Amino acid sequence: MFIPRPLDLLEEQWVELFYEAVKNKVVTQKFIKGIIKVLAKGLE
């Protein structure tokens, strides 16, 4: 059973959150490269 929590976001909100995190250098280049790999795998 799915129980929503305060950190549950809509997809659009996740995109905005990641955009802001990258723009403001909140995340490392290593993290960004890792996310790119995960996304690329999901598109296969």
Supply the pLDDT for residue 13.
Answer: 92
Domain boundaries, the chain: 11-41
Whole-angstrom CA distances from 40 to 14, 24, 30, 35 are 17, 23, 15, 8
pLDDT single digits (tens) 16-40: 999 999 999 999 999 999 999 999 9
Contact 27, 21 (CB under 8 A): yes
DSSP state string for 1-44: -----TT---HHHHHHHHHHHHHTT-S-HHHHHHHHHHHHHHT-
d(CA 15, CA 12): 5
Selected residue with higher pLDDT from 6 and 18 = 18
pTM above the 0.75 mark? no
